[in-house]
Structure 1
Amino acid sequence: MGRRTLRLRKPRGSGEHAAAVVVGCAALWLLAQLVTAAWQAATRAWPWLALLFTAAVAFGAWHTMREARARRVRAQSLARLRLTLTEIDAMDDQAFEFALRDLLIRDGWTAQRVGQQGDQAADVIGQDRQRGRIVLQAKHTKVAGKVGSAVMYQVKGTAGPVHGANSAVVITNGSFTRDAKNWGERHHVHWVDRDRLRRWAEHGTPLQDLLRLPNRPARRTAFRRAA
Structure 2
Amino acid sequence: MGCNNSCLQRSSHTRHMQPRVAASSATILWAPAAERPGLAPRSRLNVAGGLMPVFLFYPQTPDGACLTFVSASLADDAEAVRHAAQVLADHASADEVAVWQGERLIAVHGRDSSATPPAIGHVLLVEDCFFQAETFKLAFREAGFAVACASGEADAAAQLQARTPDIALVDIDLGDGPSFAVAETLEAQKVPFLFVTGYDRAILPARWRHIGHVCKPVMGSQVVEAAKAVINPSPLAA
TM-score bucket of the superposed structures, by smaller chain:
0.3 to 0.5
**What's the TM-score, normalizing by structure 2?**
0.34
- Which of the pair has more CA radius of gyration? 1
Higher strand share: 2
